[in-house]
Chain A
Amino acid sequence: MVETVLRQSPLSTCHPEVGALAEIGEAGAALRERPYRTKVNLRGDAADKAFLKAVAGATGIELPLEPNRTAVIERQFGPVATLWLGPNEWLFTGAPDQAAALVEALDGALIGRHAAVNDLSGSRTTIELSGPRHLDLLAKGCALDLDLAAFPVGACAQTHIARALVILHRTAEDRVEIHVARSFAEYLWLWLLDAGAEYGVVTLAGAP
């Protein structure tokens, strides 16, 4: 795979690989790029039981049907989270370099069905925002109610932070993943750093 050697993430120039922090320490919030993570988009009819069954059969994933919720399964290479994006749209996210296998499995299982599978791993990068003040930082640019009761662990949402469209995914009580289109990534990164200055935001070394 030439790609894994030559590729460059959209934020690779924003977080120094040398001398970057590994841990958040005492800071109120931390940013970290999680580059190259697998992102596969699936379109299909949620009302079609055979479609749901075919997906589950090929991947072991029961597609979440409740809006703005995720389903997570564990795999050898780590967890695969399936995000509800719409009544007929989902996004699989997981460790890097799993897209080809996932697309192949899905395409194979969905032959003859009305579905669309697209590898979008290169189209977005992931920013992980964590720390005790991460929700305050997010609230500066995001109009969603991010209270734990309204946006619990496992919740996801398509919305915008400042002027960038994002997919938010709350992965733990103290962190969210932000999937952002690659051309907007640098803007959002700089925006988050600016907004986080009040909380002493720090940049952590990128890690998938």
Chain B
Amino acid sequence: MLLIECPWCGPRDEQEFGYGGEAHIARPAKSAALDDAAWADYLFHRTNPKGLHFERWWHARGCRRWFNVARDTVSHEILAVYRIGEARPDIADGDR
């Protein structure tokens, strides 16, 4: 079970969190202007990398805040935790 550091509550068991998929995917401002392919890209397509992944979690059974996590999808190592609105940390795959 992962130990995830909520930016507010500190480290808590994974059980307290909900997973929110890939981070930094903004909703298109003018959705009507998008063709089907572009809309599908926003709606369905994700990078699903092996290795470093920027993703969203929320502290569902705690303070109910959403935040971002940089996690290695192979080792599950958590490399950074940062709040919504904060810039994506400058880390690359292989930084340990």
Asked if A and B form a direct contact in the complex, defined as CB atoms under 8 angstroms apart, the reply is yes
Known: A159-B12, A159-B16. A86 touches B61 (CB 8 A): no
Bound together, the chains give a CA A144 to CA B62 distance in angstroms of: 11
Point out the residues of chain B lying under 8 angstroms from A67, CB to CB. 8-10, 63
Bound together, the chains give a CA A67 to CA B8 distance in angstroms of: 6
Total B residues in contact with A, Cβ cutoff 8 Å: 12
Q: How far is the CB of B85 from chain A (nearest CB, A)?
A: 12
Total A residues in contact with B, Cβ cutoff 8 Å: 13
Bound together, the chains give a CA A113 to CA B63 distance in angstroms of: 23
Q: Are A160 and B61 in contact (CB under 8 A)?
A: yes
Q: Which of A85, A143, A144, A165 contacts B63 (CB 8 A)?
A: A85
| B contact face: mostly helix, strand, loop, or mixed | loop
Q: Which of B8, B61, B64, B65 contacts A159 (CB 8 A)?
A: B61
Q: Which of A158, A160, A165 has the largest count of B CB atoms less than 10 A from its CB?
A: A158
Point out the residues of chain B lying under 8 angstroms from A89, CB to CB. 63
Point out the residues of chain A lying under 8 angstroms from B65, CB to CB. 86-87
Interface membership of chain B positions 57-82, coded 1 if the CB is closer than 8 angstroms to chain A and 0 otherwise: 00001111100000000000000000
Q: Is B15 an interface residue (CB 8 A)?
A: yes
Q: Are B9 and A143 in contact (CB under 8 A)?
A: no
Bound together, the chains give a CA A28 to CA B96 distance in angstroms of: 47
| A contact face: mostly helix, strand, loop, or mixed | strand
Known: A68-B9, A86-B8, A87-B8. A157 touches B62 (CB 8 A): yes
Q: Which of B10, B13, B15, B61 contacts A158 (CB 8 A)?
A: B61
Bound together, the chains give a CA A68 to CA B16 distance in angstroms of: 15
Bound together, the chains give a CA A157 to CA B9 distance in angstroms of: 8
Interface membership of chain B positions 1-38, coded 1 if the CB is closer than 8 angstroms to chain A and 0 otherwise: 00000001110110110000000000000000000000
Bound together, the chains give a CA A165 to CA B15 distance in angstroms of: 12
Bound together, the chains give a CA A160 to CA B16 distance in angstroms of: 8
Which chain A residues in 47-103 approach chain B with CB under 8 Å? 67-68, 85-87, 89
Give residues in B with beta carbon < 8 Å to A.
Answer: 8-10, 12-13, 15-16, 61-65
Q: Nearest 5 pairs between A and B by C-beta?
A: A86-B63, A143-B13, A67-B8, A158-B62, A160-B61
Q: List 25 A-B contacts (CB under 8 A).
A: A67-B8, A67-B9, A67-B10, A67-B63, A68-B10, A86-B8, A86-B63, A86-B64, A86-B65, A87-B63, A87-B65, A89-B63, A143-B12, A143-B13, A157-B9, A158-B9, A158-B61, A158-B62, A158-B63, A159-B12, A159-B61, A159-B62, A160-B16, A160-B61, A165-B61
